[in-house]
Amino acid sequence: MDEPENGLNFHELELDDRLLRDIARLGWTSPTLVQEKAIPFLMEGKDVLIRARTGSGKTAAFAIPIIQNVLRYKREAEVRATTVLVMAPSQDLCHQIAKVFASLTYSFGPFLRIVDLSSKEQKGTHRHLLAERPDIVISTPARLRTVLADGTLNVRDSLRCVTIDEADLMFTFGFEKDLQEVLKHFPPVHQSVLCSATLEEDVLKLKQLILHNPVILKLEEPHLAVGSQLKHYQINAEEADKAAILYTALKLKLIQGKCIIFVKSVNRCYRLKLFLEQFGIRSCILNSELPIKIRCHTVNQFNQGVYDTIIASDEQMTDNPKLVKKKNAKKPTAKELLQQTEAESNVSRGIDFQCVSCVVNFDFPSDINSYIHRAGRTARGKNNGSVLSFVSAEEQEMKTRVEEFLQTLAGDAEFTMSNFNFNLDEVEAFRYRSKDAWRAITKFSIREARIKELKMEMFNSEKLKSFFEENPRDFQTLRHDRPLHTVHVQEHMGDIPEYLVPPALKPMVDIMNAKRKQKMLERHVTAKKRRTKADDPLMVNGIDYKQINM
């Protein structure tokens, strides 16, 4: 997190010792600019509208004062009650907010209870969780509307604070009707907080709905990190060359560190993953069709370094907000319900990818906001980052519009996207390899890969576990179904022959190949030792009886 110059430390904000202990455990020493400005107003109980860029620490800016205020509410109240509601437009963001609250209340144990209603649990589960009257409830507006309407949650007499994160997406994702219904269940007097990366028309409309004489924190921060902290690069490439350039850049370590690759559809996620697999480049996939637990697990694996490359698809809602605008019908259609579910599963906004060094726009974003939020995944806090965009002839117009917008952020300084120096003629052999690998991926292989992933989710599903135990034949039938014909991976394709490497990059590639061969040798030696022990008659169940006899 970036530390404001001459700012306060957390211990100067009159916070509870247990909260300070958890803040220190997270490694935070000083509040960011938005935290320093917002926390005092929120602790005073004022309505606040916070506009700050992605990665500026908005979640902690409202979570810390909420926790401090809940401690005060609990001293004043005679019985346990739900005093705080936090709403966000997607399940992933709700889950992420819940994790921040859990980290900041670690030292409180069961004294402070937090419930996340965004996951697709049974109604009975939600009823059980809410029956314990948690202090803080986190939810999407649609889920919150349901539990308020059926009486599972009643906050009319206890609610003290309502916070809405990513407020600029609430109406875009079709939650206007849900929010209006939810507001009917709130008491007339309560604190309200809106957080947003922008101050668009929808945010101002939402402000009129729930805020009363608010403090408006429009921090003088750019939408993105500027200057040397975030570099923007572009390379003109048509569809046939994009894969070749990406493969070469990743394999020759022209792109280093953790990387997020954005594409425009779910199918292209799988296509690109199957393509990279043929060259020994490991990656994971993130899109709204995956279950919430899998998406969160994928982000955690990426953050922990299990994968260095993640392939994410932009959502239809970001590209075409009209797709999820709700109609005035009393009862939503099945199609509208499906669109709402997709909206709640959006992965392109707010997710906390940690230590991302590079964002690659394999498909150039379709609007300026998408570019901002993609680029906002890197150069967070004090970390540096870069954005590399592949631009085809059809995407040139949008690239120009993005450049004009970034010029407004740069102010007087002249801004242009730097050209990514890449000569395809020098890596013609890589290009030849990649074309064959790209052509090998058909619609059939993509479908098979998605079926394979679906089957794995069925095997790992907790909800289906009891069903399979009662119906073992169904389990065996599913497991021994026809083989899936995904793309054949040839191990030698992971190596980089010396004759393929441009002279300037040969030293780097020699080091990479040496490390790879050393790892393969270590795995071979380990496997040989295991085989030797398995064949030894004096080794039984891993116990060396030779050592015991001695």
* pLDDT of 398 strictly over 90: yes
Q: Where are the alpha helices (DSSP H) in 252-309?
A: 266-277, 292-303
Q: What is the mean pLDDT of residues 299-318?
A: 78
Give the rounded distance of the alpha carbon of 57 from its chain centre: 15
- For residue 547, give both structure tokens: 């050592």
Sheet of 385-391: strand order equals: 284-286, 309-313, 258-263, 356-361, 385-391, 230-236, 418-419
Task: Please tell me the predicted confidence (pLDDT) of residue 379.
Answer: 81
Q: What is the mean pLDDT of residues 241-255?
A: 90
Contact 428, 273 (CB under 8 A): no
Task: Please tell me the predicted confidence (pLDDT) of residue 53.
Answer: 73
Higher pLDDT, 460 or 262: 262
C-alpha distances in angstroms, 359 versus 230, 281, 282, 374? Answer: 11, 17, 17, 7
Q: Express each pLDDT in 108-162 by its tens digit.
A: 999 999 999 987 666 677 888 899 899 999 999 999 999 999 999 999 999 999 9
Please enumerate in sequence order all residues whose Cβ is within 8 A of that of 528, keeping only pairs 6 or more positions apart, or say none: none
Provide the whole-model pTM. 0.67
The SS3 assignment for 384 reads: coil
Task: Report residue 24's pLDDT band, with 50, 70 and 90 as the boundaries.
Answer: very high
196-205, 272-281, 320-329, 496-505, range with the lowest pLDDT: 320-329
Task: Please tell me the predicted confidence (pLDDT) of residue 428.
Answer: 79
C-alpha distances in angstroms, 170 versus 205, 241, 441, 497? Answer: 11, 38, 38, 52
Task: Please tell me the predicted confidence (pLDDT) of residue 485.
Answer: 59
Task: Please tell me the predicted confidence (pLDDT) of residue 79.
Answer: 87
**Cross-strand bridge partners of residue 391:** 236
The DSSP symbol for 324 reads G
| Residue-level length of the chain | 550
Q: Express each pLDDT in 447-485 by its tens digit.
A: 888 888 777 777 777 667 777 788 888 777 766 665 555
What pairing do the DSSP bridges indicate for beta strands 136-139 and 84-87? parallel
Q: Give the whole-angstrom CA distance, residue 405 versus residue 410.
A: 9
Q: Express each pLDDT in 504-529 by its tens digit.
A: 666 666 666 677 677 777 777 777 66
Higher pLDDT, 248 or 328: 248
Listed residue (380, 345, 374) closest to 359, CA to CA: 374
Dihedral, CA of residue 99, residue 88, residue 324 and residue 271, to nearest 10: -20
Task: Please tell me the predicted confidence (pLDDT) of residue 290.
Answer: 79
CA atoms within 13 Å, Cβ hemisphere of 309:
21
Q: How crowded is residue 219: how many other Cβ atoms within 10 Å of its Cβ?
A: 14
Task: Please tell me the predicted confidence (pLDDT) of residue 316.
Answer: 46
Q: Give the whole-angstrom CA distance, residue 341 versus residue 331.
A: 15
* pLDDT of 350 strictly over 70: no
* pLDDT of 329 strictly over 60: no
Task: Please tell me the predicted confidence (pLDDT) of residue 21.
Answer: 95
Q: Express each pLDDT in 190-207 by its tens digit.
A: 999 999 877 777 788 888
Task: Please tell me the predicted confidence (pLDDT) of residue 60.
Answer: 94
Q: Express each pLDDT in 412-424 by its tens digit.
A: 666 778 998 887 7
Percent of the chain past pLDDT 70, that is, above it, reads 78
**Cross-strand bridge partners of residue 87:** 139, 164
Q: Express each pLDDT in 175-186 by its tens digit.
A: 889 999 999 999
Q: Express each pLDDT in 368-394 by its tens digit.
A: 888 988 888 888 766 789 999 999 999
Contact 398, 364 (CB under 8 A): yes
Task: Report residue 2's pLDDT band, with 50, 70 and 90 as the boundaries.
Answer: very low
Higher pLDDT, 356 or 550: 356
Task: Please tell me the predicted confidence (pLDDT) of residue 234.
Answer: 94
Q: Give the whole-angstrom CA distance, residue 365 versus residue 70.
A: 41
Task: Report residue 345's pLDDT band, with 50, 70 and 90 as the boundaries.
Answer: very low
* pLDDT of 324 strictly over 50: no
Q: Express each pLDDT in 42-76 by its tens digit.
A: 999 999 999 887 677 889 999 999 999 999 999 98
Strands (DSSP E) found in 165-286: 191-196, 215-218, 230-236, 258-263, 284-286
Range of 89-93, 285-289, 361-365, 499-503 with top mean pLDDT: 361-365
The chain-wide mean pLDDT, for the chain, equals: 81
Task: Please tell me the predicted confidence (pLDDT) of residue 121.
Answer: 63
